[in-house]
Copies of this chain bind each other. A is one copy, B any other.
Amino acid sequence: MDKIRKDDPAQETGDSGFGEEELRRGMERLFFAYRDFIAQPDEILRTYGFGRAHHRVIFFVGRYPSMTVSQLLEILQITKQSLSRVLSQLIREGFVEQQQGVDDRRQRHLYLTEKGRKLEQELSADQRLRFERAFQDAGPDAVDGFMDVLQRMISRHPPLAG
């Protein structure tokens, strides 16, 4: 395998203090981090006959119990049909359960079952370890910077607690 030659972008904008190269490096690194972040869960999911979309549901319902269907739609930014397919499968197989709302009985509040919590732990074990190590090794200041920059890249905050 030959060494890959990097492009040397001719013109720099100069107006932001961050050059083409620095931005590209950040974009690239985000891609790699995300790619490796989901690689191991993907393998586990296949043994359950699930996909990445199931993981996202499991993660967010685990993080925000009593979340409704429309809140989940808002977070995932997918269509009702895309969510419905994976969510009803998770409910059917006993990983997620619904509870009719008390204030508004049209709403379905979502919760992980015990089985669902176990799956959540299994799926996120590698991801947690990855974050733990990176956070630990980089140190608290780096972690603050990491969280700050990520937050600023997010378009609009969904109405999350905390």
Contacts and interface: CB of A to CB of B under 8 A. Distances in A.
A155 interface: yes
Contact of A27 (B35, B124, B137): B124
Interface residues of A, number: 73
Contacts of A145: 138, 141-146, 148-149
B159 A131 contact: no
A132 B30 CA distance: 14
Instruction: Please report whether the interface of chain A is mostly helix, strand, loop or mixed according to DSSP.
Output: helix
Nearest to A68: B2
A23 B59 CA distance: 12
A4 B64 CA distance: 6
B152 A138 contact: yes
A80 interface: no
Contact of A18 (B132, B153, B161): B132
A4 B66 CA distance: 8
Contacts of A74: 1
A118 interface: no
Interface string A15-31: 01110001111111111
Contact of A24 (B63, B130, B155): B63
A147 to B, nearest CB: 6
B124 A36 contact: no
